[in-house]
Structure 1
Amino acid sequence: MRAVTLGPAGTYSHRAANAVAEEVEFRESVTAIVEAVAVGEYDRGVIPIENSIEGSVTESLDSLSEYDIAVVKEIVTPIRHALLAQGAGFSTVASHSQALAQCRKYLESEHPDATHEAVASTARGVERAREDPSVAAIGHPENAGGDLQVLAEDIQDRTSNATRFLVIAPAGERSAAGGKSTIVVYPNMNYPGLLLELLEAFAEENINLSRVESRPSGDRLGDYLFHIDIEAGMYERRTERAIDRVESIAENGWVRWLGSYDTEHVLY
């Protein structure tokens, strides 16, 4: 099985993808990963969807609504950030924007004069630090080695820092089995109580919602679609009834069920 995730090698996404496939290749953006899986270039893709400190990854949400794919598993893993550099004389800290945000308090306290440089991934920041002694990186401590030293470990603002990744597959592999499901709803309308009606469809079936998030549709200002995660599988009659009601409410737009799946916790 071939999987694709955010590169280069050594990213947290790469570590999550190792739990899915032995052969892992890389892309520089989430959108490129989702597109590659949607057209069948890869069997699986692994994308970050939500962090316990910084919240949802908006590029992932937008890509899931743009391409027709399946969600077949979620992977939850703790995030351990370390400060990596060739020495203490750095003036720039380079990492993914989410990693920089997750270590904001540490950086403000310990390195207030350092410039922050957002790059495509934590591994890309590590590459920058290897190439330039004036650059430090934020990444997993195992990315150190050679000229790169671990200057500080566990620098994330909260010890509970964890990231949720979705494992995606071509749309034909959607399964109704699993303890969670993800749907995207585009009502293509707006009126008082619309969101309440959508949420009541699940409440009346005693289905818990683990996440609800709105994103701009991109069609016009003030027009939104909704990403909804529920703690129920599509194999359940109550889920079918709830989705049927949501589809009737959003009859002017569309409802996309991305799949039902289970959770795997990966420690590293």
Structure 2
Amino acid sequence: MSTQALTLGPAGTYSHRAARAVADDEEITFTESVTTIIESVADGEYGRGVVPVENSIEGSVTESLDALADHDVAVVREVITPIRHALIAQGEEFSTVASHAQALAQCRSYLEEQYPEVELEAVASTARGVQRAHDDPAVAAIGHPANAEEDDSLVVLAEDIQDRSSNATRFLVVAPETERTEAGSKTSFIVYPNVDYPGLLLELLEPFADRDINLTRVESRPSGERLGDYVFHIDIAAGLYEQRTKDALAVIEEIAADGWVRRLGSYDSETVV
């Protein structure tokens, strides 16, 4: 099995910055598909994968959630990356701003106020936008200010242009399922009840409330089996090693007896700037 970490690329993305928390640059490989990252870890091709799952402004990354439901991997770490968007270009005259669609959305108010006439171009990543700005003086990019520091042809025209200063993205570090652990302050799991009746969601949540376990995220995604059928992604502020968590999950497994419950694992969280 490779010891390398696989994440979204190219180099210079926020995913790259998150991946640096778990691997050195020479050990990081890039792809442009979240599904490929999780598949490659599940298949044993890579020892670690780093995938975005949630942004504080734009919400969940649904491709990540769906891939986690489709492949058996372990979550071994959480990395929070504050998003610091800068406007980067060769000069002050440009007609297009290129970046990832989420970055454009996260800077919507700034762009509408300061550059209402420019064309917005969605590209595969913030780093792709920076490359566009490097290649074309008529294009500006939105990305981390460090991207300009690493390119002599680019300058930072404005920093911290995101609409909300609290903007941050949550990444999960995935590993082969054999590395799943019960140790950690947070736990992620997925529930597919394969049933539908009034009060089902309440029944899924009550076992945690009854045991004073805080739910940090609950999200439903279509199962793909039939219309109105859902898979539930649940994060809690407790470890699998805790008896209260074991007791709550025992109740959940009874409710989902016709479906399945996948424990992604327990882990700790860190923030990287």
Smaller-chain TM-score bracket: over 0.9
Q: CA deviation at 1:187?
A: 1.0
Q: Kindly indicate whether residue 221 of structure 2 is the aligned counterpart of residue 209 of structure 1.
A: no
Counterpart among 18, 21, 35 of residue 20 in structure 2: 18
CA deviation map 1:6-60 (0-9, x unaligned): 1000001101111101111101111111111111111111111111111111111
The 5-angstrom pairing of residues 201-240 of structure 1 reads 201-240=207-246
Unpaired segments ≥5 residues, structure 1: none
Determine if contact 1:5/1:14 at 8 Å carries over to the other structure. Answer: yes
Residue number in structure 2 paired with 1:257: 263
Counterpart among 4, 13, 17 of residue 6 in structure 2: 4
SS at the partner of 1:106? Answer: helix
CA deviation map 1:86-107 (0-9, x unaligned): 2222222111111111111111
Counterpart among 89, 93, 107 of residue 85 in structure 1: 89
**Letter of the structure 2 residue corresponding to residue 15 of structure 1:** R
Structure 2 distance, partners of 1:17, 1:153, is 23
**Letter of the structure 1 residue corresponding to residue 234 of structure 2:** I
Q: Kindly indicate whether residue 53 of structure 2 is the aligned counterpart of residue 53 of structure 1.
A: no
Residue number in structure 1 paired with 2:251: 245
Counterpart among 101, 104, 122 of residue 105 in structure 2: 101
The 5-angstrom pairing of residues 192-203 of structure 1 reads 192-203=198-209
Residue number in structure 1 paired with 2:164: 158
CA deviation map 1:137-159 (0-9, x unaligned): 11011111222221111100011
Determine if contact 1:29/1:120 at 8 Å carries over to the other structure. Answer: no
Q: Kindly indicate whether residue 147 of structure 2 is the aligned counterpart of residue 126 of structure 1.
A: no
Structure 2 distance, partners of 1:134, 1:37, is 40
SS at the partner of 2:203? Answer: helix
| Range with greater deviation from structure 2 (89-98 or 186-195) | 89-98
| Identity %, equivalent residues | 70
The 5-angstrom pairing of residues 64-79 of structure 1 reads 64-79=68-83
**Letter of the structure 1 residue corresponding to residue 30 of structure 2:** F
SS at the partner of 1:43? Answer: strand
**Letter of the structure 2 residue corresponding to residue 244 of structure 1:** A
Residue number in structure 1 paired with 2:46: 42
**Letter of the structure 1 residue corresponding to residue 36 of structure 2:** A
Unpaired segments ≥5 residues, structure 2: none
SS at the partner of 1:112? Answer: coil
Q: Kindly indicate whether residue 85 of structure 2 is the aligned counterpart of residue 111 of structure 1.
A: no
Structure 2 distance, partners of 1:230, 1:173, is 20
Q: CA RMSD in A?
A: 1.0
**Letter of the structure 2 residue corresponding to residue 236 of structure 1:** E
CA deviation map 1:117-145 (0-9, x unaligned): 22111111111111122221110111112
Determine if contact 1:183/1:228 at 8 Å carries over to the other structure. Answer: yes
The 5-angstrom pairing of residues 158-177 of structure 1 reads 158-177=164-183
SS at the partner of 1:241? Answer: helix
Counterpart among 16, 28, 31 of residue 32 in structure 2: 28
TM-score by length of 1: 0.97
Q: Give the count of matched residue pairs.
A: 267
